[in-house]
Structure 1
């Protein structure tokens, strides 16, 4: 039989295995015929006091070593000469593929490492006779057993225990130690003989865990899947091989180490072939580089081999563009979350993977819901991220998506929405690692089978270990920092005390903590250590929607755009402010500058605000007027696509986008493609007033819309934000607006305006004449639009035909269809006078005129 040696039990007994076919092959013990080698040392049986340790017989270990080095891992041929009733097999073993190879028994006898069994010698057995001749020659040469002195020096001082294993491991300074692997318990636990001092120790491979054999109550063992294969994998490569072991740590009396073989590192091989998984608790002591182990495990996961055959990656459902992307940081939410702006314009919240921000311990309560200032090191963590990231482009690699949790799942704790957790780097620096290394966050510990973690988890653990060792931040034994910040927002008396000081200071440094609207902000004043509400001076910004005693007040046009503009420009940035005054509510009023830009001027220049009369006494008045004139001259071209006659809203025309129509078409095409790929579940959307959604129009296509009113699930009033028309639909024709196509990605393209300087007749017939005239003249044509002044509901504008530059509103006055609305502003008087000249031609002098006509 041709087999391969697996184990040498002694100088005269070996275990052989065949070639593996679909799993570990069966073992077979062969005892060498006609020879005997010394018995190796045996340890007393644990739990049996009547047994004791027995030492090596002289030359026993040398015989075993001679045979081990001669045959381990080699292909052999053997013959079976005798088999006892107990099943023991005796025979001759030859190196190579046939009996022409070296006879192992003869080699042992020649070297004086085994004796020949002479009793019962049969004269017709030439093999036995040859062994006797070889033994006589060894005796004559005084080799091995036949040397003088009896061989006492060949008996090992075998040590089964170490009094202080931790000190023993530390004393080696993680230097490689020569060893022989004597036994393999499972894929990652071995019994090794350390040379030259003959310590017999159990070593667990650092950083990994293999499937094992579970011991049952009755003493039997139940193998976990792939446990036998993992054990065979290690045995076939290491058992009774000469190796080097780096003893790396000894926690809880368990020696951790790495076994190095000339052909490779068994730890990495086990991982790469899917026989083991990484374990965090011992990964930190692995001296060969934890990233190598993670890379080997990742390779097995990607190939789905063995224990990973059913593995599904945390980001398997994400496209490549959604897994890795570059984005601009717009806001730092707290010490573990940021808001980034994607190339598409969409804003996305990103949580840093596997870290936990500073938090309060015990029952300490946060004062007035100010965790940023009241939680120790929270402010320092936020400031580190703010200074490092705000306004910068970062690389984002999504590690996992943490599913949303409901209150029931969290035992009554408030539910968390779905979280995108990622590794964020800037200039090659892992922000989470930098945060942890400064002691401003800690690393989350996971269950061993939890794969939702940072792709650089080991670096995070190492950074935390350094922070603990150096006593940084949260790990410092010093007194925790306290931030005594006075919040005087809305505190009139406190604001009065601060006002003179801020006025005298001229320009003061500040950090924009929050943006309420385009012109209303919350500032942190670092030198004064206070929080204030700050209103931009000299401008009148569109108001957003808000709750009023009579109900929800609808947002003014461009209020959302103004807020977004201010956020993009100044949120969490370092700015300079000039405080001029304060209002009755304790809010400070003044000018805000960022990198040489006056925010009030910037808003006016971008047609997101108007100059207020209070600016006249300011040194910035001329600059504001110039900015307003620049904005006024940039008249937007709009297309009138629909006219609606609504008596409650007076004359109302519905133009198309005042923005780039190409962007709208692109957005609609992308949105409908996504909806077609993942159709909404009918009835899953619960409409609420003010919510944005998508609505299915009569043509069967989906459009962006806003809920205006909910009478019942069957009667939901919607406003199509890109086309201006309204409709009453069932909630089954509504669905949630995909985040990628929100109003942040592209603002609503239909904007409501009112005709400036005109009053519409209240008489139905007269109103109809005015509407018919507008339909006839401007529907489906392009006009130039200019905002003249703001109104209660919407801005008031003038329209000019794009080709002739004729004024549409003036044309209505000339035809006598409307009356002129008197305005008192000085800069509007010329336009009002031009219209008054033509009021005598009004065709219906007996009709009463009502409110200003409106267009959308």
Structure 2
């Protein structure tokens, strides 16, 4: 009696031939055995040089689905050794005892092979076996099963090579799950795959698993006259067996994702199987490694693969048995403020303890500099700059995105000093949830560094960086563009006085210009870039002088020179600012005022005691009173340069008087006045006329007399001085009004109409000295602000909207206001519409806050006297923030009251 054996069917070669696998062995994969079914024959499968016989693939598929991966009982019967290689024949029984050959004949996929018995089986038993098979074959013929079905085409359309361009094939099916059968496992990450396309045609391809690489294996499918002498890599055979028992000749879904390296006809993709992801299983068991070149192609992203690899590394499984984790760098993660952009991939940050650190963005490098670029002073004839390529765009992107912002820094690795370059900390920098390096790559403003396979000195978000670069390449952005490189030309407007004067008119045309501070030389001298005019210039703050700073270590700085330089650098360097240009000096430097966050930098320096007023130039400025007031404040508080100054008794007594007055202000005031709004500066800053019947009548009479008096007068007026009260002819109605001179410049004379609060700049021809009979009536317009609240400046974000809302609430109305305080001649008012109410809960101040058009400023000096009002205002602001009203429509604003 023939001996029965147990085995697992590894694969099916054809409708009548299988490969059986024995039990696993401790020193390697299990033994294999090829077995053909005796007494039956299936149609022959074709190959690249010959076509299939009819129904050959159907017969193979029937047997594959029936047997692959299952444990069976097989009975070897005989071997034919006259063929090469010798072939063994026998019977295969399923777990329930069914004979596989009988089932194949019954289903019409096998034919009976006539002939004498070649086994030890006697002729009678052999004939009985054949008769039983014949009966099953007749049944299949009668019922038209399998290959006996004449109503269907038993052939298939299959390509063993890629007949059309692989890239075109990929573009057609990329990202689409295709039915497939794993025909061969070359190694654990390389397969021979039969794709079943949507039109039911078939394509044989070689598929590399995306994102991973398994150890190579000795080839076992070479022609009989060839042998592979290359040994398998460690764990290669084990990994191959791991895949074979799970995927070989299983039906799966294949997602094509790319072409393999070198532009060959082989593909990269992922395999979907209900039992799990084979790539993740290989990585988690230490049988493969992640590879950078294809991991970004992986459907679903690289994160799951990296996590699986980390599991194996932590456990030191198989190929990671000698793995040593990289030691964590001390102080490797912290928050810091970006204070400078050095290049398109390098920044300087300041940590919370005040330490400055230079960081290079990990795993990226800035775009190359284009041919023809020049640096400032690169030409003997000109100091103009020409920059070709994307370095300028990269620096500008980083500056706009990061300068002055708080970022999170993770040091990924340290690059040692080499080839004359300094050592560098290479880090991942994130702003909120945004990886800055990733954003540079997405815009094509940098390229990813290609690290060696064994190099762990890389960004911990390296995969995302590669994905970002691939996206930019596909969209042909930045350095990946097929267009010519951009060229930026920046003219040096301060090269000399002649050149500076050519720019002066256009720079003065607009009252304020947006600028970027490129460099700070000292507290009052800066170098600016004006984007609109595309020029670079030297800029000096008008009206003040800051202490000089030594040009080198051997040159001594003036007292508080370094402090002034540090203050301006921190406030302004590479920030967007606004400038007002007044004039140029003999060196070509431009003179004017600079505003950062709405604050005049010169006044800030004076308040800190880091500068002194230059009296001659200050008197020519519209900000003269503010300059002198700021310097006086610094003297009184002994700030900076004035810390050791000695004050006169009179000054000390004056300060004591002011202090007593301030203490008195802390008592709540109940001083109600009737007003109308005569002009607006912002949503919380305006001019009012206090309603006094007698004075109103006097003003009406004055205006009539003023019109008559100046109607026919054309006396040549001498140039007025700042602070003079004059008669000015208003542009809109050509009527004469009382006005005060604010500023005298080459552009004209800026005046404030003292009875209404509006202002404009006029030529000298529209100015006349004010006759004495018109000076007796006090100015009717008083400058005022809403108490405890503040709206953005007119030219700031939401400034116009705030003014419009304030206009809706006040225009054409007689209002009631409580004078909460007087600050330097400015009324601090809580304003009510008497038609509505005069309670704190119904004030226009509160309406502005509730509508999201103002923020609460509880730190004003007189706020302590009005706790209930402050509380109501803060509750209104919180409600506006929650409901995203007005300024808060996109969430909480980042600006503070000092920015308004």
**Matches of 1:439 and 1:74, distance apart in 2:** 53
Question: In structure 2, what is the equivalent of residue 257 of structure 1?
Answer: 269
CA spacing shift, 1:501–1:361, aligned 2, 3 Å: closer
Q: CA separation of 1:591/1:6 partners in 2, compared to 1, >3 Å: closer, same or farther? A: same
Q: What SS class does the counterpart of residue 231 from structure 1 fall into?
A: helix
For 1:63-74, list aligned pairs within 5 A.
63-74=59-70
Distance between the aligned counterparts of 2:288 and 2:384, measured in 1? 43
Report Cα offsets for 1:520-571 as digits up to 9, x if no partner. Answer: 3211233443322334455554544434xxx812445654443322222111
Aligned length: 613
CA contact (8 A) 2:8 2:20 kept: yes
**Does the aligned pair in 2 maintain the 1:37–1:60 contact within 8 Å?**
no
Specify the alignment match of 1:684 in structure 2.
none
Measured in 2, the distance between the counterparts of 1:335 and 1:425 equals 16
Q: CA deviation at 1:237?
A: 1.6
Question: CA–CA distance in 1 between the matches of 2:126 and 2:201?
Answer: 38
Q: Per-residue displacement from partner, 1:691-712 (whole Å, max 9, x unpaired)? A: xxxxxxxxxxxxxxxxxxxxxx
Return the offset for 1:282: 3.9
Whole-Å separation in 2 of the counterparts to 1:602 and 1:142: 100
User: Matches of 1:243 and 1:434 in 2, distance apart?
Assistant: 37
* Cross-structure match for 1:164: 164
CA spacing shift, 1:123–1:616, aligned 2, 3 Å? closer
Write the distance in 2 (CA, Å) between the matches of 1:59 and 1:129.
27
- The match for 2:178 is 177
Counterpart for residue 322 of structure 1: 332
Are the aligned partners of 2:373 and 2:388 in contact in 1 as well (CA < 8 Å)?
A: no
Q: CA deviation at 1:12?
A: 4.2
Alignment partner, residue 337 of structure 1: 346
Cα separation, 1, equivalents of 2:555 and 2:482: 53
Q: How does 1:71-86 map to 2 (within 5 A)?
A: 71-78=67-74
State which of 377, 388, 391 in structure 2 corresponds to 1:375. Answer: 388
Question: How many angstroms does 1:465 deviate by?
Answer: 4.7
1:623 aligns with 2:621: no
Q: Is the CA contact 1:34–1:128 (under 8 Å) kept in the aligned structure 2?
A: no
Give the 5 Å matches for 1:78-227. Answer: 78=74, 92-96=91-95, 101-108=97-104, 110-111=106-107, 113=110, 115=112, 118-119=116-117, 131-143=129-141, 154=154, 156=156, 158-166=158-166, 167-172=168-173, 174-195=175-196, 196-213=200-217, 219-227=228-236
SS of the residue corresponding to residue 637 of structure 2 reads helix
The offset of 1:164, in angstroms, is 0.6
Partners of 2:551 and 2:377 in 1: how far apart?
Answer: 23
1:388-409 per-position Cα deviation (integer Å, ceiling 9, x unaligned) = 22222233344x32513422xx
Q: Does 1:435 align with 2:435?
A: no
Q: Residues 450 and 23 of structure 1: is their aligned pair in 2 closer, same or farther, counting only changes over 3 Å?
A: farther
2:574 corresponds to: 572
CA contact (8 A) 1:58 1:151 kept: no
Structure 1 residues 560 and 131: alpha-carbon distance in aligned structure 2, compared to 1, 3 A threshold:
farther
Is contact 1:580–1:588 with CA below 8 Å preserved after alignment? yes
Alpha-carbon deviations, 1:614-664, whole Å to 9, x = none?
6763604322323312431799999xxxxxxxxxxxxxxxxxxxxxxxxxx
Quote how far apart the aligned CAs of 1:513 are: 0.7
Residue of structure 1 aligned with 2:355, choices 342, 346, 369: 346
Does the 8 A contact of 1:170 with 1:249 survive in 2? no
Report if the CA contact (8 A) 1:12-1:35 is conserved.
Answer: no
CA contact (8 A) 1:11 1:114 kept: no
**C-alpha contact (below 8 Å) 1:248/1:285 kept by paired residues:** yes
Residue 480 of structure 1: how far off its partner (Å): 4.6
Tell me what 1:851 maps to. none
**Residues 1:351 and 1:477: Cα distance change in structure 2 (over 3 Å):** same
Aligned-partner SS, 1:628: helix
1:26 and 2:30 correspond? yes
Q: Against the structure 1 CA distance between its residues 179 and 490, is the aligned structure 2 distance closer, same or farther, given a 3 Å change threshold?
A: closer
CA 1:371 to 1:207, structure 2 compared with 1: closer, same or farther past 3 Å?
farther
**TM-score, normalised by the number of residues in structure 1:** 0.62
Contact 1:192–1:201 (8 Å) recurs in 2:
yes
Measured on the aligned residues, the alpha-carbon RMSD in Å equals 4.2
Gaps in structure 1 of 5+ consecutive residues: 45-52, 408-414, 639-856
Shift of 1:472: 4.0
Q: Which runs of 5+ in 2 are unaligned?
A: 645-900
Alpha-carbon shift at residue 598 of structure 1 (Å):
2.7
| Alpha-carbon shift at residue 322 of structure 1 (Å) | 1.9
CA contact (8 A) 1:15 1:27 kept: no
Q: Any residues of structure 2 matched to 1:701-712 within 5 Å, and which? A: none
CA 632–130 in structure 1, closer or farther in 2 if over 3 Å, else same: farther
Distance 1:477 1:62 in 2: 51
Aligned counterpart for 1:595 among listed residues 594, 597, 600: 597
Q: What is the DSSP-based 3-state SS (H/G/I as helix, E as strand, rest coil) of the residue aligned with 1:553?
A: coil
| Residue 415 (structure 2) aligned to one of 382, 399, 403 | 403
